Amino acid sequence: MGRKDKSSTLPEVLILGRSEIEQLLSMGEALKAVEHSFRLQAEGETIMPPKLYLNLSQYQGDFRAMPAYIDGAAGVKWVSVYPNNWRQNLPSIMATIILCDPNTGCPLAIMDGTHITNIRTGAAGGVAVKYLARRDSSVIGFIGAGIQARTQLLAISEVLPKIEQVKVFDQQRDASVTYANEMGAKLGINIRPVETIQEATEADIVVTTTPSRKPVVKKQHIKPGTHINAIGADAKGKQELEAALLKNAKVIVDDIEQAAHSGEINVPLSQGVIKIEDIYGTLGEVVANMKKGRENNEEITIFDSTGVAIEDITCAKLVYNKARERELPTFKLL
């Protein structure tokens, strides 16, 4: 009897581009998936080593490898961050996700990770607003008018009962105007460009999405009761908020180790302005009801979002399952 060709037992691999991902992953679905991932993280049901950075300063960019296991899915995201790509009309963040079967190690899917990165980061901000912002919040201020500002607003609009006004500031005035016109029409919300950062921070919720390496938001400009989504700091040395602001706020991170290395807290920690003990906890602990979220209408809350791999893999798993249900084409990789 001849030996069976073992290659025939290998699963076929899905290849999914951005257009397929956009059809398969909505913001509402991402919000639920990301919230679930934070809960599992807090309950110790995930495996997620820290990001591995490949710094290419000579090219003014870097690559990051982000592996994770969550809820029966294993995978890795390979993502590049090149802040100056706008000059070539390219996204500053581009990514690819490989999803594998944790039972055998067989590859299941190779998919665009750029759209997933944008959507899941927005979703994480939405989850933070759900648990940390005042429920009567109605005015949102954005510092930065890029892709992340768009997905943050998409997510926040899903969790807030009512948004009365959005203000947006960007160093490039044209970007603010484009954002206001585009997102205003998309969501039917009153959005207006503003001339200064201070004007944008006069809000119930402030969202920062810049690559800044020096504080752009000052303590004196933030009123009691404000919630801040600090999204931009995702590498060592990046900082959007004045250290004194963090010192006088309830700071919640997505992952302590990662945030300490490359999140909004990394610079104040390295300068000794704050200590790890000053960090209130993780968003997962709040979602899992291990720690309280907002406790009154006066406290300032800050979500330090670095972007964690469990968000990517849980969304990739959702996309994969929906793609298989629709019987999208596959191919033999091995």
Q: Which amino acid is at 278?
A: D
What's the pLDDT at 11?
78
pTM: 0.92
Sole residue written with tokens 């956009």: 22
Asked whether the predicted pLDDT for residue 7 surpasses 80, the reply is no
Asked whether the predicted pLDDT for residue 16 surpasses 70, the reply is yes
Asked whether the predicted pLDDT for residue 154 surpasses 60, the reply is yes
Give the C-alpha distances (Å, rounded to integers) separating 205 from 26, 136, 143, 152, 304.
Answer: 23, 11, 11, 11, 14
What's the pLDDT at 4?
45
For 34-93, how does the pLDDT look when each residue is reduced to its tens digit (9 = 90+)? 999 999 999 999 999 988 999 999 999 999 999 999 999 999 999 999 989 988 999 888
Tell me the pLDDT of the chain averaged across its residues: 93
Distance CA 297, CA 34 (A): 26
CA angle 124, 127, 128 (to 5 degrees): 90
What's the pLDDT at 10?
73
Asked whether the predicted pLDDT for residue 202 surpasses 90, the reply is yes
Catalytically active residues are 77
What's the pLDDT at 204?
98
Element (H or E) spanning 117, and its range? helix 114-132
pLDDT band at 330 (very low <50, low <70, confident <90, very high): low
Asked whether the predicted pLDDT for residue 6 surpasses 80, the reply is no
Question: Residue 201 forms beta bridges with which residues?
Answer: none
* Burial call 17-49: b when 16+ CB within 10 Å, e when fewer: eeebbeebbebebbbebbbbbbbbbbeeebebe
Compare 6 and 333 and report the one with higher pLDDT: 333
Element (H or E) spanning 23, and its range? helix 18-24
- All structural domains of the chain, each given as residue ranges with its CATH number in brackets, are 8-116+310-331 (3.30.1780.10), 128-307 (3.40.50.720)
Q: What does the pLDDT average to over 112-120?
A: 96
What's the pLDDT at 332?
59
For 274-329, how does the pLDDT look when each residue is reduced to its tens digit (9 = 90+)? 999 999 999 999 999 999 999 999 999 999 999 999 999 999 999 999 999 988 86
For 219, residues 6+ apart whose C-beta sits below 8 A from its C-beta are 242, 244, 245, 248
Report DSSP state, residue 276. Answer: G
Distance CA 7, CA 9 (A): 5
Residue 156 contacts residue 205 (beta carbons within 8 Å): yes
Asked whether the predicted pLDDT for residue 164 surpasses 80, the reply is yes
Asked whether the predicted pLDDT for residue 174 surpasses 60, the reply is yes
Compare 259 and 334 and report the one with higher pLDDT: 259
Alpha helices in 292-331 (DSSP H): 309-325
For 117-148, how does the pLDDT look when each residue is reduced to its tens digit (9 = 90+)? 999 999 999 999 999 999 999 999 999 999 99
Residue 311 contacts residue 2 (beta carbons within 8 Å): no
For 227, residues 6+ apart whose C-beta sits below 8 A from its C-beta are 128, 129, 132, 133, 134, 137, 204, 205, 206, 294, 300, 301, 302, 303
Distance CA 100, CA 139 (A): 42
pLDDT band at 1 (very low <50, low <70, confident <90, very high): very low
